[in-house]
Structure 1
Amino acid sequence: MAVIRSDRPLDWRQVAAIAAGEPLELSAAARGRIAAARVLVEQIVERGIRAYGVNTGVGALCDVIVSPSEQRTLSRNILMSHAVGVGAPLGAAETRAIIAAAVNNFAHGHSGIRLEVADQLVALLDADCLPEVPAFGSVGYLSHMAHIALVCIGEGHARHRGERISGREALRRLGREPLVLEAKEGLCLVNGTPCVTGLAALALARAERLLDWTDAVAAMSFENLRGQLAAFDADSLALRVSPGLNVVGERMRNALADSGILASVIGQRTQDPLSMRTIPHVHGAARDVLAGTAEVVNRELASITDNPIVAGTPEAPRVYSQAHAVGASIALAMDSLATAIAQVAAMAERRLDRLVNPLVSGLPAFLAEPGGTCSGFMIAQYTAASLVAQNRRLAAPASLDGGITSGLQEDHLCHATPAALKALEIVDNAGRIVAIELLAAAQAYDLQTIDAARAPHTDALWRRVRSLVPTYRDDRPLAGDMAAAFRLIAEAAPPLFPSPGKPATPPADETTLTRASNSNIAATDAANIAANDPHSVASAG
């Protein structure tokens, strides 16, 4: 179903849907706004009104006047000189998200590109013929969009149906011609915050799904560790003002309803360890951060972030050349989301450690069967601890990195795009940590010494895991099971949490998988497993 950019700006969910493969359409009104803004640029050129990047150089060259005969050259040269990305290319979902956010920005009607330029970008999305965009090398927003724009003029490279092709060949396959950029268009294509905004929308989608899974997996661990349900008492939790906390508390109560295991241990402990009794507090705090971040991203999508901005009328065009392209608010939001997800993952590792530690679990050491000759989940917990440490390093705020560029003209940098990229990496790592906890919780059920029934909801989750991988007996590389579990978390939603008095939702059909998830990362994990292993992801389930 197409996502239409109409009179209203796209929101983050719509950008994430386009990243997942939905087509993007421009309404007649949006097209009209784009065309009207182009008229303003043409009037600025014709009247010789001084405008940054239109008839001047850029950055520290902003006071160098560029003649009308040189303005096409300036636009082309901006792409060439700004396409300085390094490292592995972004994934398809990331690239689609950035393009969607860029088209959304143009549709505000204050950029000044021609309709042909917006249509070129939409055509690339429609054909899923995506520019090759190196992930690193940006302190703000320039290099990623420059690599995308190269394909619009027949330069650079793209990927189409799994093949790496030149930008010119990409356009030929789409039946389109390379664009010759006019005044301001080169700057329009690299400017503003679409890069970080698109990536941020994707980070929100992945983080939201991860938090749903983390609640579900935490319920399994809580039950296996025989926690006290009083930790989720509704009256108690209502005393702390936090929408997220109370949502998670209700989820935990519903997920663990009718648990025979927990019913058999009521009152045995006064208080559970913090990694168990603060599930609503920590998970809920992350949900509150997610909600706040979503507000920031939606505000950014609703904002004009060009420099310069064109406004006014053809009779009286105006140029605003200030700082709307600086992404301070979204950089801070991405840093905050990254820290929140890192904390949730760190607590998941603590629950995992309790599951494998016989001193506190009441279960066989390291969930091994049998012990001695088998190590079970001993070393999988090492992997989780390593990822927690990596997240801790990544969670250092990018927005404080600073730096000086362009001959002191740009002497304060917010590093918004790097903040979004590291947030995405933290979400990936967190997904792997929760996947290991999911496997360990399922194993703990298999070895549970209490002869009592699981809650219907956690039983459904256990069955879902066992439909993918059997009980682990050191009979295969555990990495294969971990990849299968991560793929499940990255690509599929967990079963819906039941409402009071309703049965647990059966496992969701795997056809609900979506490309907006981290499927490219999960596939990489799976590819690292021995192809002939009978227990590998390819043959699981």
Structure 2
Amino acid sequence: MSVIRSARPLDWRDLCAVAAGAPLTLATDARERIGAARALVEQINARGIRAYGVNTGVGALCDVVVSPAEQHALSHNILMSHAVGVGAPLGTQETRAIMAAAINNYAHGHSGVRVEVVERLVALLEADCLPEVPALGSVGYLSHMAHIALVCVGAGHARWHGERVSGAEALRRLGLAPLSLEAKEGLSLVNGTPCVTGLAALALQRAHWLLDWADAVAAMSFENLGGQMAAFDAASLAYRVSPGLAQVGARMRAALAGSGLLAAALGRRTQDPLSMRTIPHVHGAARDVLAATAEVVNRELASTTDNPIVAGTPDEPRVFSQAHAVGASIALAMDSLAAAVAQVAAMAERRLDRLVNPLVSGLPAFLAEASGTRSGFMIAQYTAAALVAQNRREAAPASLDGGVTSGLQEDHLCHATPAALKALAVIENSSRIFGIELLAAAQAYDLQPVSAERAPYTEALYAKVRAALPPYRDDRPLADDMGRAFRMIADGGPPPLPVFTAPATPASPSSPEGWAPGEPMAIAHAHTASANDAMPGVMGAFVGP
């Protein structure tokens, strides 16, 4: 289904759809807004109104006046000098998401590029002829878009059906001539926050899938370790006000309903270890961060993030040359999401350690079928610990890195795009950690000494793993199994949970005014495989209260 940029800005889900291959279409009203903004730039130029990047240089050269005859060269040269990315190129989805965010930004009608420029980006998306965009080398937002824009003018490189070709060859195969840029277009093509916004949308989608899997895999480990279901009691959890916590508690109750293993363990302990009993608190806190981050990303997409912004009428054009291209809010949001996901994954590694440790698991040592000659999951836990440590390094806030560029003109940097790249790296590492826990939990079921039935939902998850992979007997490289489990988690959400609705409990004296635990903060229907139907965040429908 086509994603249409009309009067309504795209949201993060729209970017993810385009990233996955959906076509993006400009509605008539969007084209009209783009054209009207271009008319303003032409009036600004004709009247000699000083405007940054239109008739001046950029960065520390902002006070150097550029004549009309030099403005084409300025726009063209901006692309050449700003295309300074290094390292491995971004993936297909990442590049498509960034391009969609840029098109959305121009469609607000305050950038001043010609419609033909925006249509060129749309054409590249439609043909799936994607510019090669090095991932590294940006302190904010410039280099990624510069590499995308290179292909529009017949420079740089692109991927055409998997083949690396020059930008000129890519346009030739599309039957298009290289664009000749006019005033302001070079600056607008590299400006704003499309790169971080596109990457952030993908981070939201992948984090959402991961957190759904986190609940599901944690339920398997909890069941194997004989946890106490009191940790997910609705009345107890209602004393802490958090939509995410309430949602996770309900999901855990649904996932573990009908478990004979947990019935057999009832009353065995007063309290479980924190990695088990704080699943609602830690996973729920991450979901709250996810919802807040979604709001930030959608606000970014609803904003014009260009510098300068053009507004007014042809008779009275206005130029706002300030700082809307700086992505402080989305940089902070990405840093926060990375830290939240890293914490969830760190707790997963602790549960994994409990599964493989015979001192606390009640299971064969390291989930090996024969001790001594087989190591089982001993070293897989090392891998998870290494990834947790890597996450800890990646989760250090990029938004505080600072730095000074452009001859003191740009003396405060938010590092928004690096923050998004780090968040994506943390999410990938964490998906690998949960993949290892998933395999270990399935193995633990195979070696479970208690003769009792699994919950219907965890039984379905176990069957899903065993349909793809047999039990592990040190008979093959475990890395291959871990790779397949990673793909299972990274490529989409887990099977949907069953409907589970618990009765509301009376309001407590400590409840917020007008709120009874189990009532307005919950929706009495199932949270399915996707929680993307809630606006503006991503909390979705709760499973029970």
TM-score by length of 1: 0.92
> Who is 1:88 aligned against?
88
> Who is 2:210 aligned against?
210
Deviation, structure 1 residue 47? 1.1
> Who is 2:275 aligned against?
275
CA distance, structure 2, for counterparts of residue 282 and residue 500 of structure 1: 21
> Who is 2:143 aligned against?
143
Equivalent position SS for 2:408: coil
CA distance, structure 1, for counterparts of residue 287 and residue 491 of structure 2: 20
CA distance, structure 1, for counterparts of residue 173 and residue 371 of structure 2: 60
Superposed CA deviations along residues 320-377 of structure 1, whole A, max 9, x for unmatched, are: 0000111000000000000000000000000000000000000000000111100000
Equivalent position SS for 2:120: helix
CA distance, structure 1, for counterparts of residue 400 and residue 427 of structure 2: 21
Q: Which amino acid aligns with 1:259?
A: S
CA distance, structure 2, for counterparts of residue 207 and residue 443 of structure 1: 26
Question: Which consecutive unaligned segments of at least 5 residues does structure 2 have?
Answer: 503-525, 530-545
Equivalent position SS for 1:38: helix
> Who is 1:514 aligned against?
none
Counting only pairs closer than 5 Å after superposition, residues 22-421 of structure 1 correspond to structure 2 as 22-421=22-421
Equivalent position SS for 1:88: strand
CA distance, structure 2, for counterparts of residue 174 and residue 242 of structure 1: 52
Equivalent position SS for 2:138: coil
Superposed CA deviations along residues 385-422 of structure 1, whole A, max 9, x for unmatched, are: 00000000111100000000000000000000000000
Equivalent position SS for 1:264: helix
Post-superposition, which runs of at least 4 consecutive aligned residues in structure 1 deviate over 6 A?
none
CA distance, structure 2, for counterparts of residue 211 and residue 70 of structure 1: 52
CA distance, structure 2, for counterparts of residue 215 and residue 441 of structure 1: 13
Q: Which amino acid aligns with 1:380?
A: A
Q: Which amino acid aligns with 1:397?
A: P
Superposed CA deviations along residues 212-261 of structure 1, whole A, max 9, x for unmatched, are: 00100000000000000000000000110000000000000000000000
CA distance, structure 2, for counterparts of residue 252 and residue 157 of structure 1: 48
> Who is 2:518 aligned against?
none
Q: Does 1:424 align with 2:421?
A: no
Equivalent position SS for 2:359: helix
CA distance, structure 2, for counterparts of residue 13 and residue 239 of structure 1: 33
> Who is 2:537 aligned against?
none
Q: Which amino acid aligns with 2:263?
A: A
CA distance, structure 2, for counterparts of residue 8 and residue 43 of structure 1: 27
CA distance, structure 1, for counterparts of residue 259 and residue 399 of structure 2: 45
CA distance, structure 1, for counterparts of residue 437 and residue 51 of structure 2: 56
CA distance, structure 1, for counterparts of residue 348 and residue 23 of structure 2: 37
Aligned-pair identity (%) = 78
CA distance, structure 2, for counterparts of residue 416 and residue 220 of structure 1: 37
> Who is 1:11 aligned against?
11
CA distance, structure 2, for counterparts of residue 127 and residue 217 of structure 1: 39
> Who is 1:480 aligned against?
480
Deviation, structure 1 residue 501? 8.0
> Who is 1:522 aligned against?
none
Deviation, structure 1 residue 160? 1.2
CA distance, structure 2, for counterparts of residue 147 and residue 362 of structure 1: 56
CA distance, structure 2, for counterparts of residue 212 and residue 178 of structure 1: 45
TM-score by length of 2: 0.92
CA distance, structure 2, for counterparts of residue 114 and residue 283 of structure 1: 46
CA distance, structure 2, for counterparts of residue 438 and residue 401 of structure 1: 36
Superposed CA deviations along residues 134-159 of structure 1, whole A, max 9, x for unmatched, are: 00000000000000000000000000
Question: Which consecutive unaligned segments of at least 5 residues does structure 1 have?
Answer: 509-541
> Who is 1:513 aligned against?
none
Equivalent position SS for 1:4: strand
> Who is 1:471 aligned against?
471
CA distance, structure 1, for counterparts of residue 2 and residue 172 of structure 2: 24
Q: Which amino acid aligns with 2:336?
A: S
Equivalent position SS for 1:486: helix
Equivalent position SS for 1:74: helix
CA distance, structure 1, for counterparts of residue 219 and residue 360 of structure 2: 17
CA distance, structure 2, for counterparts of residue 22 and residue 449 of structure 1: 49
Equivalent position SS for 1:318: strand
Q: Which amino acid aligns with 2:341?
A: I
Equivalent position SS for 1:154: coil
Equivalent position SS for 2:429: helix
> Who is 2:542 aligned against?
none
CA distance, structure 2, for counterparts of residue 493 and residue 291 of structure 1: 17
Deviation, structure 1 residue 492? 2.9
Q: Which amino acid aligns with 2:149?
A: A
